Structure 1
Amino acid sequence: MQILTSLLVLICSVFACQAQLTARAQADLITNLPDVTFSYSSRVFGGYLKPDSTKQIYYMYLESQRSPDNDPLVMWFEGGPGCSGIGSLFMYNGPFRGNKDGQTLYENVFAWNKLANVLYIESPAPVGFSHFTGNTTIPNDDSTAVDNYNTLLDFFNYVMPNLKTRPFYLSGHSYAGAYIPTLTIQIINGMKKNEFSANFQGILIGNGVMSEKRQHNTLVPIMYYHGLIGSSMWNKLKNACCQATCMTECDFWSHMVIEPSTSNYDSDNSLCGNLTWITTEFDQWGTPNDMYDIYQDCYYSQSARNHRVRGLNLIEKSISFTDGADQNYDSTDAHNGFDCWGSSMARQYLNRPDVQDAIHVNMPNFTWSSCSRFVEDNYNRSVYELDDIFDFILQNSNISILIFAGDVDLVCNFMMQELFVNDVAQKNNLILHGDRTPWMFRGRIAGYQRIFDRIHHLTVKGSGHLVPLERPGPALQMLANFLFNRNSANYSIPTPVSTDPQPLLPQYQAQVPHTCPPTGTAQDCSKISSALMIASLFAILSSKFFSI
């Protein structure tokens, strides 16, 4: 009788929870995400939001793995302009990452939904699975801000109205540095009109596009001091551009012009302008260096690929090879090269027909890509300096702001952000509390923090442009402290959730053979045993000596 009573209570609680969902949320509930290799029980939703009658914006909403009924809501934007937030879910800060087979998903133990409900969207249309239902229009900064605002209204009013009372935050990186502040203005104005009723608390921007002037003016000295340009070019720039001042205060940007049709940068045809363009544009994008992370290298040569295949061939035939098992969980960046191959694996997975059907994509035989060439080529940019926008935000709201930057990114560099924060803080009389101090992750310096009244500014040591990908552990800790401990101004407080990996499902667990194949010779058996022993030893040594 007691067992029956407990079962009835469980059934009632499940149906009560389901009853809280709107009809649209119930229709968007994903009941079977294909080929997740680990135990995962939190609810995931996917479908379309409607900013107006001419567009459908694809979204995925992941409930918190900790306390979905109490944790805050964080909305994530990818940059570009024109890149996919769903790509971020499967590559950066979601719980799922694609294995090298392009078919299965392994666990990201530093997923942001470990401690928050997270909403991802693909904006503006036609990014990712988002699309037009009416005439195609060319997006720009103003139209994207309005569409993102109306997308949020649709989500809060008709899909998840139960989330209106939760603390709500906007987050993202790269061109989200423009998306988020312009959307914030829309939200502030909507709150003044009593149109937007969600509990808006703050914004988080990583390596954002906040000031092209400061970006170009700081990029030249950063490139020189990182050895990316030599003393000859340095002296030419100094003589042509900076005779009256030191290099760190030189105004290179005044010799650049913006092409209205493409939003690209060009020289004003002066000697200084030509040298600046060569350094900040051609030398930045025209070399094999990864400007998003100057210390990142991806090796794509066929000989290297063949060598790796030959080295793994025997082991792959001997055991069920699961890439998730390669992850060193004592490290924050030993991802077995995921930075280099994760994007192609996510693309392969998201283009499976059964996956698109499971996540409620409404366009049959659609080819998903992480960025939209249409948006990249046609987007009309108008926001280049965000000082006035941040002034408006600080003067018309009480929200908190976190600006963070990987310190080896050149595309949206940390010095640009520091100068931007300094100027905005000074203009708005924000007090700096204490000195610039290190913040720690697992006993090691994770970066440096500066705490102003309303703005927290952090660097992330050793990370490039994509902090949640390259430093996932520190990124999750940073998120936790901004959401829950920001009044303490201490980003060294450990993350209050477990990052232990969930167990693999039985069908994905590695099966190590205890005997040789029936047709195997003694020499074959010896090779297999030696290969397995070497692989195990390498894994142990990696976890001990390559933990970063």
Structure 2
Amino acid sequence: MGRPPGLLAALLLCAGAALGRRLSLDTDGYLGPVQGRSSSPYVFDVRESSRGGPCDPNVRQISGYITLREHTTRYFFMFFESRRSPETDPMIVWINGGPGFSSMAGMVLENGPCRVANGGKETEINSHSWTSKANGIWIDQPAGTGFSTGPLISSTKRAGELLSQFLHAFFGKYPQYNRRVFLAGESYAGQFIPETLMRIRIDERAGAKPVIDIVGIAIGNGYFSSDRVWRSYPRMAYESGTAPRRVSAAQYNSMVAAAEDCVKETPSCLTGRLSCQALYDRCSKKLIDPISDAKWSIYDLRVKCGPFADCLDDRPIRAYFNNPTVQKAIGTHIGWKSSNENVTAAFHIRELFSTSAEKQLARLLAEGISVLLYAGDQDFLCNWLSVLETAEQLDWPGKSRFASATESPFKLSSSELGATVRTVERLGGLGGLTFARVVNASHMVPQDAPEAALLLMNDFIGRARVRRPQLLKGELAKQLRSPKPLSFGLASLKASSLSLMEETFTEAMFSTKVFK
């Protein structure tokens, strides 16, 4: 079996139940196009409204295109102000994975202001939207994804460079939203987000403006390391403790041996002695096919369906986003689909075996960025076991404290268990690491567990703080201010610096108090 889009793309399962009242496609009140430059070399072609736009007519909206520096790449986005207090609320930047999966699909199926209803003819308000207490933007990236256009790219590094351009352009034109910014996403966003944030830091040291007020990152069912994913598959399929058993004891033993072989061969792939495509095909056959060949969803082990994309019915959302009335209102006119396999295929297979995301996460934690890693406990593909191991093995000053921390229940408004959570914070909440295993949720947590996802995110946002590099002292501050590219990891820091930083960390259990 060839490389499935699954391991690189967070494809959809089935359209979730929409919440709240229904909205027609009427777009009266929309102010229409706004074209021009915020500052050279970016070009804006957007629609703005104070009220009356699609999806959520009760808030200000901005949607359309930003043309990036090369003038060949145009990224599409949809922005919605917070339903509560847009002048003071934080900002969430959301990207889906893939590469090639549209964030517009994530918006209407997961955490955006509305859900598609009636076969795509109308929408319903999502009462668990992440814009309940935050401003939010959903971005189609890289080029070729969703409504975005431009040359295809082949690396996560390039994706980070372009997304950094987009965010500096957006916040340059709309500085009122550059306040307590959180980068969030799922699946392959586990690669995109750390790379993008590191690129933002590099660009800003080189003079990029404005300085984006990034406080934290949140990644759901993230893909961080091929080694951890391969090793997690046997246990997730056989004895995860959270999802149904889907393989026999003999299959389990075979998968354990195969996983170790895959991990052992990864260095040969990275050095070019072995074809990464051949390695992926072999490992996928031995570790993913036992699930998909038995017609179990690799995104939700409770669900019986065909292999890979056969689980996806995106007809309602395709109908919605390809409706001419909707397209006119949001500022586009091209065909839309939820996932573009050409974008996925353009990424070099070697990217799948990269380990840079974990090094970047560790570096960001040391810098004072708050990190939330959450995972639905029914997903097989980017399962909670691999995400937890990533969290435990990140090489940062709080590593030992996180490993020894106990889990705490996170309850919903009904007092039912929504998740189990483990966290280590700095004194005063200046950065820290949180892992949350979300109960009875699949690969797309906000779709299956919308209340738990919203409460976890609001709580995380409410506690997250950041210490600016200029407030740090000693060798760490010197490195962070350096105009030279920074080495990821902490090996070059002096022992005294690490010791001083270690003293600023404390173990703290995640509270169940929702951010007000």
TM-score normalised by L of structure 1: 0.69
When the two structures are aligned, how many residues end up with a matched partner? 413
CA distance in 1, matches of 2:73, 2:180: 28
The offset of 1:236, in angstroms, is 4.2
Number of the residue aligned with 2:504: none
Number of the residue aligned with 1:70: 88
Number of the residue aligned with 1:376: 344
Aligned in 2, Cα 1:347/1:104: closer, same or farther, shift over 3 Å?
same
Number of the residue aligned with 1:183: 196
CA distance in 1, matches of 2:280, 2:405: 41
Aligned in 2, Cα 1:262/1:255: closer, same or farther, shift over 3 Å?
closer
Number of the residue aligned with 2:106: 88
CA distance in 1, matches of 2:188, 2:258: 29
Number of the residue aligned with 1:421: 391
Q: Which piece of structure 1 moves more, 46-55 or 179-188?
A: 46-55
Question: What amino acid is the match of 1:138?
Answer: I
5 Å-filtered alignment, 1:222-237, equals 222-225=236-239, 226-236=244-254
The offset of 1:494, in angstroms, is 3.8
SS at match of 1:71: coil
Conserved? CA contact 2:410–2:420, under 8 Å: yes
Conserved? CA contact 2:232–2:386, under 8 Å: yes
CA distance in 1, matches of 2:249, 2:75: 49
Is 1:409 the counterpart of 2:379 in the alignment? yes
Conserved? CA contact 2:135–2:177, under 8 Å: no
Aligned in 2, Cα 1:455/1:425: closer, same or farther, shift over 3 Å?
farther
Is 1:203 the counterpart of 2:248 in the alignment? no
Q: CA offsets, 1:156-178, max 9 Å, x none?
A: 112x12222x1011000001111
Conserved? CA contact 1:97–1:346, under 8 Å: no
Number of the residue aligned with 2:48: 29
CA distance in 2, matches of 1:154, 1:267: 37
Number of the residue aligned with 2:416: 444
5 Å-filtered alignment, 1:22-421, equals 28-30=47-49, 32-33=52-53, 40-52=57-69, 53-132=71-150, 136-158=151-173, 160-164=174-178, 166-196=179-209, 197-225=211-239, 226-236=244-254, 253-255=263-265, 264=277, 266=279, 277-297=284-304, 343-361=314-332, 363=333, 366-380=334-348, 382=351, 384-385=354-355, 386-395=357-366, 397-421=367-391
Question: What amino acid is the match of 1:369?
Answer: K
Conserved? CA contact 2:47–2:329, under 8 Å: no
Q: CA offsets, 1:174-218, max 9 Å, x none?
A: 011111000010122234344241211010011011111011111
Q: CA offsets, 1:137-161, max 9 Å, x none?
A: 4332111110000011110112x12
CA distance in 2, matches of 1:77, 1:216: 24
Conserved? CA contact 2:76–2:139, under 8 Å: yes
SS at match of 1:431: helix
TM-score normalised by L of structure 2: 0.73
SS at match of 1:69: coil
Aligned in 2, Cα 1:42/1:219: closer, same or farther, shift over 3 Å?
same
SS at match of 2:237: helix
Number of the residue aligned with 2:7: none
CA distance in 2, matches of 1:278, 1:441: 39
Conserved? CA contact 2:461–2:515, under 8 Å: no
Number of the residue aligned with 2:4: none
CA distance in 1, matches of 2:90, 2:409: 27
CA distance in 1, matches of 2:215, 2:278: 35
Consecutive unaligned residues of structure 1, counting only runs of 5 or more, are: 1-14, 243-249, 269-273, 300-338, 497-548
The offset of 1:419, in angstroms, is 1.1
Conserved? CA contact 2:298–2:380, under 8 Å: yes
Q: Percent identity?
A: 23
Aligned in 2, Cα 1:111/1:356: closer, same or farther, shift over 3 Å?
same
Aligned in 2, Cα 1:120/1:265: closer, same or farther, shift over 3 Å?
farther
Question: What amino acid is the match of 2:295?
Answer: P
CA distance in 2, matches of 1:472, 1:233: 34
Number of the residue aligned with 1:538: none
Conserved? CA contact 2:424–2:434, under 8 Å: yes
Larger relative contact order, structure 1 or 2 (CA cutoff 8 Å, min sep 6): 1
Q: CA offsets, 1:476-521, max 9 Å, x none?
A: 000100011358753422464xxxxxxxxxxxxxxxxxxxxxxxxx
CA distance in 2, matches of 1:494, 1:137: 41
The offset of 1:358, in angstroms, is 0.8
Aligned in 2, Cα 1:262/1:147: closer, same or farther, shift over 3 Å?
farther
Aligned in 2, Cα 1:228/1:298: closer, same or farther, shift over 3 Å?
closer
SS at match of 1:209: coil
SS at match of 1:411: coil
When the two chains are superposed, the root-mean-square deviation of aligned CA atoms in Å is: 3.2
The offset of 1:229, in angstroms, is 1.3
SS at match of 2:197: helix
Number of the residue aligned with 1:479: 457
CA distance in 2, matches of 1:187, 1:241: 38
Q: Which piece of structure 1 moves more, 45-54 or 276-285?
A: 276-285
CA distance in 2, matches of 1:277, 1:128: 27
The offset of 1:344, in angstroms, is 2.1
Consecutive unaligned residues of structure 2, counting only runs of 5 or more, are: 1-30, 426-431, 466-507
Question: What amino acid is the match of 1:155?
Answer: F
The offset of 1:281, in angstroms, is 2.7
CA distance in 1, matches of 2:348, 2:295: 28
Question: What amino acid is the match of 2:391?
Answer: V
Number of the residue aligned with 2:28: none
Conserved? CA contact 2:47–2:64, under 8 Å: yes
CA distance in 1, matches of 2:197, 2:188: 14
The offset of 1:284, in angstroms, is 3.5
Q: Which is greater in Rg? A: 1
